[in-house]
Amino acid sequence: MAVPAFRRADFLMALAYATDLATGHSRDFALRSCVLAMRFADLLGVDVEQRRSVYHQALLRYVGCNADTHLLASAFGDEIALRQELQHIDMGDKSAIGATILRALTRTFADLPPDQLSKAIEQGMAEAMNVSVPILAGHCEVAQRIAERIGLSAEIRENLGQLYERWDGKGLPQGIAGEAVKFPVRLVTLAQDAVVHAETHGVPAMIAVIGKRRGGAYEPELADRFLAHAEALMQGLDQPVDRKTILALEPLPHAVLDEAASEEAYVAIADMIDMRMPFTFGHSRAVAALADLAGKHLGLPATDIRELRWAAYTHDIGELAVPVSTWMRAGPLSIREIDAAHLHPYHGERALASLGGEGKPVAAIVLRHHERLDGSGYHRYAKAPDLSPAARILAAAEAFQTAREARPHRPALSDTAAAAKLRSAVRAGKLCPEATEAVLACAGQSARRDTSERLAGLTPREIEVLRLIAAGQTAKEAARQLEIAPKTADNHIQSLYAKIGVKTRAAAALYALERGLVQHGMLAA
Ligand SMILES: [Fe+2]
């Protein structure tokens, strides 16, 4: 069984896409800043180890900033809007920070009567730093832990721990100054601010801002060198950056991950996604565990199970585009919020495009995780023929796991109630019966009696063979799909025929149809 060979940089780009969404940066922000930072590093003639540090700092600077986002959203409302505003101000300027926080609080409490509004704002302003400092310190530590889990060096991790530090010592969490702030941190902070300001206000305005903050946020000598070459360094950076450019920029030797390291990278992404809100903590791991078991239960080929599990780890990566303040609200979502929420599978596919051709099957499953057999899902309104067994299993596993987790607008359902909810969706033609029963069986919610009766005596492999031949596949084709020898497939078919009392493929197909094994086009994909 061929194992996909991922570059570690593939995962860095997926993480960068996700953090760009979560922090309100524009498309390819981290990638564009990586290109700029590497150009600048080359101009300065730094050695390969410094280049490696710059490369990783640019791609991963904000990778921990998803932690504790619920606290940020509770205090300041729409945290993505707040983060967008903060990108533009000088974080050493207390009055600019105060004005930005004041705007956020005014937006958040806009519905309060005037007397309560001023009190809420006053209280929010008083607590702003107490709330923010531990959160920002947490971002640094989480970034370091994620970096460790994907195998990055101690030096790169140390840089990530300084992501909010500044030349003048007015940064966080330690307030270190000057050369105590590592060189890659100083360089990438300048490069990322340059990208933000250039894309919003143009290169001349960006040059003015960098000059103004020289000696404050930025090391004077570094700012001078940058400003002397700013126009050339910024060439083409208003355009999207393709994956190959970032892969080519990685200093040698390129890090390639084996299967175990790839698995760990997917799990790291899962945790990064889920850590933004307490009620999603562990969600992706739980969905992946269920989906993996259900895939095995249904006898899916090992390659399909691996892709299914990796898709389950990353299925909600696109959710980072939606502010946590939206997910946390107990009331109904507005039409605009529903639209944004429904696009998260689209963003998920885009994020996983960073994984290149090897990641395509995973991205295809992620894209479909909220689709339903009858076309009532989102966001493409795909129907049964477009939904593979893996996509159906992920849809069922996600629905079950979500139902048994609490959300701000509803309590958690018991496992029994969650199972009933899924079976109701099966009856309505939305979820695949086989995939759903497999998920429920693996979650300890034993299948309904009629399901176990209709499958009585068949092994999971025989059920899978039955599905395939009922869908019109020959024994040879079924053998190829299941990655077994044709002779083995023949043996399964003969044993299956004997058990269900048929002699022909057509009769076996009819048997499968009668028992609902092929309803909703489970096998059409
Ligand atoms: Fe989702």
What's the 280 CA to ligand 1 centre distance in angstroms?
11
What's the 320 CA to ligand 1 centre distance in angstroms?
11
- Dihedral through CA 243, CA 247, CA 250, CA 251, nearest 10? -150
What's the 518 CA to ligand 1 centre distance in angstroms?
26
What's the 277 CA to ligand 1 centre distance in angstroms?
14
Q: How far apart are CA 110 and CA 114, in angstroms?
A: 9
What's the 403 CA to ligand 1 centre distance in angstroms?
12
pLDDT for 390 equals: 96
Predicted TM-score of the model (pTM): 0.80
Q: Which amino acid is at 458?
A: L
What's the 323 CA to ligand 1 centre distance in angstroms?
14
What's the 10 CA to ligand 1 centre distance in angstroms?
22
Q: How far apart are CA 145 and CA 108, in angstroms?
A: 32
DSSP state, residue 214: B
What's the 231 CA to ligand 1 centre distance in angstroms?
42
What's the 417 CA to ligand 1 centre distance in angstroms?
20
pLDDT for 519 equals: 34
pLDDT for 397 equals: 97
pLDDT for 113 equals: 85
Q: Which amino acid is at 258?
A: D
Asked if 187 contacts 41 with a C-beta cutoff of 8 angstroms, the reply is yes
Looking from the CA of 367 toward its CB, the CA atoms found within 13 Å total 19
pLDDT for 524 equals: 28
Residue length of the chain: 525
Q: Is 270 left (phi over 0), alpha (psi -120 to 50) or beta?
A: alpha
Which ranges of the chain have pLDDT less than 70?
Answer: 1-2, 446-456, 471-472, 505-507, 509-510, 513-525
What's the 267 CA to ligand 1 centre distance in angstroms?
16
What's the 113 CA to ligand 1 centre distance in angstroms?
36
CA 412 → CA 69, 83, 418, 421, distances in Å? 21, 31, 9, 12
What's the 131 CA to ligand 1 centre distance in angstroms?
29
